Amino acid sequence: SVGNVGIEICAELSWDANVDVDLTLGPTSFGINQVKMSGLGCIVFTPLMDKEPLVGGVHVFFVNTPFIDFKFKGLGGLSELQAVDAMLEHKIKGELRKEMVLPNRKTIRFPSAAITDMAEF
């Protein structure tokens, strides 16, 4: 191994997607039909290896909580209840913050990389 070094790429990310997520809770169906997200995101390729696969894995995270906006849809009028929409949006944003905003991050180890000296892998 060439040591605990890596390649870090950070950029302002912007994502605007039409999605089709449907959920059913009892007799009521609702979902999300648009997601907008922007923020400073980073990916760190680490550790660099002296043989293939050359990188042991990646860390993916946001530096700060990204801006997120959802457009909810619903049958039975659920999406017309702003309190329900706000609660769903708050829950989704909270989960993203717990998983992907510093100091938290997603770590993906490449299965073919033999890493024994890095606790985060």
Tens of pLDDT, residue by residue over 49-98, are 888 878 888 999 999 999 988 888 775 445 556 777 778 788 888 999 99
User: What sign does the dihedral 48-54-56-60 (CA atoms) show?
Assistant: positive
The DSSP 8-state label assigned to residue 92 in this structure reads: H
Rounded to an integer, what distance in angstroms lies between the CA atom of residue 56 and that of residue 33?
Answer: 36
Rounded to an integer, what distance in angstroms lies between the CA atom of residue 77 and that of residue 81?
Answer: 7
Rounded to an integer, what distance in angstroms lies between the CA atom of residue 80 and that of residue 89?
Answer: 14
Rounded to two decimals, the pTM is: 0.71
Question: If you search the block for the tokens 């979902």, which residue do you land on?
Answer: 31
Rounded to an integer, what distance in angstroms lies between the CA atom of residue 89 and that of residue 72?
Answer: 9
